[in-house]
Amino acid sequence: MGDLNQQKKQYRQAKLYLSKALQMAPYEGEAYFYNGLLDARQGDTLSGIALMQRAVELKPRFAPAYVELTNIHTRLQDYIQAKDINDQGLRYFPKESMLYYTRGIMYHSQKRLDSALIAYQAAIKFDSTNYAADFQAGTIYLKWNSLPLAIKSFQKVLRYNPKYPQINFLLGSAYDKHGNIEGAIEQYTLATQIDASDWRSRGRLYRAQQRKYYLDTYGTLPPASPEITSDADNEKDVSQIAPEQERVQVNILTPRLELKTKSDTVRSLKIRQ
Give SS3 for 190: helix
Residue 271 predicted with pLDDT over 60: no
Segment among 9-13, 213-217, 225-229 with least mean pLDDT: 225-229
Q: Do 190 and 226 reside in the same domain of the chain?
A: yes
CA torsion angle for 67, 73, 78, 84 (degrees, to 10)? -30
Instruction: Confirm whether 136 is domain-assigned.
Output: no
| Torsion angle defined by CA atoms of residues 88, 94, 100 and 103, in that order, rounded to the nearest 10 degrees | 20
In terms of domains, do 234 and 254 share one?
A: no
pLDDT value of residue 58 = 93
pTM for the full predicted model: 0.79
Q: Indicate the burial class of 101 (C-beta count within 10 angstroms; 0-12, 13-18, 19 or more).
A: buried
**Is residue 138 one of the residues assigned to a domain?**
no
Residue 25 lies in a domain: yes
Lowest mean pLDDT among 43-47, 100-104, 204-208, 261-265: 261-265
Q: Span 162-183, mean pLDDT?
A: 94
> In this structure, are residues 255 and 17 in contact, taking their beta carbons and an 8 Å threshold?
yes
Residue 189's SS3 state is helix
Q: Are residues 2 and 122 in the same domain?
A: yes
What is the distance between the alpha carbons of residues 238 and 255, in angstroms, rounded to a whole number? 30
Please give the pLDDT value at position 236: 46
Residue 69 CA, distance from chain mean position: 15
- Mean pLDDT on 30-54: 91
Q: CA-to-CA distance for 98 and 68, rounded, in angstroms?
A: 10
Say whether pLDDT at 1 is over 80.
Answer: no
Based on the fold, state whether residues 124 and 44 are members of the same structural domain: yes
Residues 249, 155, single domain; the answer is: no
| Predicted local distance difference test score (pLDDT) of residue 144 | 96
Decide: 149 and 210 in contact? Cβ < 8 Å: no
CA 110/CA 116 separation, integer angstroms: 9
Question: Would you state the pLDDT for residue 256?
Answer: 31
Q: Are residues 53 and 83 in the same domain?
A: yes
| Half-sphere exposure for 235 (CA within 13 Å, toward CB) | 28
Q: Is residue 50 part of a domain?
A: yes
Examine the domain organization and report whether 18 and 48 are in the same domain: yes
Residues facing residue 249 across a β-bridge? 260
In a domain, 139, yes or no: no
pLDDT single digits (tens) 235-264 = 544 444 444 433 333 333 322 333 333 333
pLDDT at 68: 96
- Same domain, yes or no: 154 and 111: no
Mark whether 106 and 156 lie in a shared domain: no
Pair (226, 255) in one structural domain: no
* Mean pLDDT, residues 155-170 taken together: 93
pLDDT in tens, 67-91: 999 999 999 999 999 999 999 999 9
Q: Is the pLDDT of residue 173 over 80?
A: yes
DSSP class of residue 224 equals: P
70 & 160 share domain: no
Phi, psi dihedrals of residue 140, rounded to the nearest 5°: -70, -45
Question: Looking at the domain assignment, is residue 135 inside a domain?
Answer: no
* Beta strand extents in the chain (DSSP E only): 256-259, 267-270
Q: What is the DSSP string of 18-64?
A: HHHHHHH-TT-HHHHHHHHHHHHHTT-HHHHHHHHHHHHHH-SS-HH
Query: What domain count does the chain have?
Result: 2
**pLDDT for the residue 181:** 93
Residues 6+ apart with CB under 8 A from 214: 220, 221, 222
Instruction: Output the domain CATH number for residue 74.
Output: 1.25.40.10
Q: For a pLDDT cut of 70, what percent of the chain falls above it? A: 78
Same domain, 37 and 104: yes
Residue 92: domain span: 1-130+243-273
Q: Per residue in 176-218, pLDDT tens?
A: 999 999 999 999 999 999 999 999 999 999 999 998 998 899 8
pLDDT-derived band at 31, boundaries 50, 70, 90: confident
Mean pLDDT across the chain: 82
Q: Does residue 140 belong to any structural domain of this protein?
A: no
* pLDDT of the residue at 7: 57
Residue 18 inside a domain? The answer is: yes
Which of 143, 158, 98 lies closest to 122 in space, CA to CA? Answer: 98
